[in-house]
Structure 1
Amino acid sequence: MIVVFDAQCLLCNGWVRFLLRHDRAGRIRFASMQGATGRRLLAGVGLQVDGLQTLLVIEGGRSWQHTAAILRVLHRLGWPWRLAWLGWLVPAPVRDALYRRVARNRYRIWGRSETCLVPAPGMATRFLD
């Protein structure tokens, strides 16, 4: 599983740090949308970096965006995070409307960094760029 994230977004960086902490099996890898690999993965599913307001998850030739991406990743983490799978009971238009609202305001609320997330030495191999 590959998570393509906005490396300038402090909320997104927090999400990546959360995943690094809780993915003890080390199965999730990461690519920033500002890097070459992230851009290639985004282009492969028809997305462009400019103005992008979604998280992208790619696994086994399939891709997910918005809340579907979050729910997919949380399911992968196992228990107790797998309970988030109940989020599928909420209709996607409702879940994704909230997601898009947060995504539109993420820089204003959480801030923006001009430097990329620097992973700990033991985690660097999980980053594709």
Structure 2
Amino acid sequence: MNRYKVFFDGYCVLCTRFAAILLKRIGASVCLIAMQSDRGKEEMGKLGVKSDPDEIILLDDEEVYRGAKAVLFLMREAGGFYKLGSGLIRIMPEWLVNRGYRVVARNRYGWFGKRDTCYLPLQKETPD
């Protein structure tokens, strides 16, 4: 059963690579949902979140994490090098981490590219 729902930008190359890493490292514990998909729009609407935010969103036991906080949480869950990286980043002041996240988020298409079609990860469907 999925422990986490992750809403990500299905057109962003960086975001989709991160989603693929999560699928590989966390597996069945994560439900990946592209924000631009019909399911993404519907579920985000139920959460009261705009349909195409510029940050990753994580839903964990009805708690919502956004942006850098969501990425760091997921890196920790992914374990290994990602957990170490998360720990090192958490040493930095929160305002600096958030600002760094915003800079990457604003420039993600230019720096990493944009897909022509929305990425929908192949994963086993599990009951919510």
Fold conserved (TM > 0.5)? yes
Structure 1 position 21 matched with structure 2 position 24: yes
For normalisation by structure 2, the TM-score amounts to 0.81
Q: Which runs of 4+ in 1 moved over 4 A?
A: none
Unaligned runs of 5+ in 1: none
What residue number does 2:66 align with? 65
**Equivalent position amino acid for 2:18 in 1:** W
For normalisation by structure 1, the TM-score amounts to 0.81
SS in 1 for 2:80: coil
Unaligned runs of 5+ in 2: none
Identity %: 25
What residue number does 1:5 align with? 8
How big is each residue's C-alpha offset from its partner over 1:50-105, in whole Å with a ceiling of 9 and x where there is no partner?
4x210001110001011100111112123343221343332222111111111111
Q: Number of residues paired by the alignment?
A: 123
What does 1:64-103 align with in structure 2 at a 5 Å threshold? 64-83=65-84, 84-103=86-105
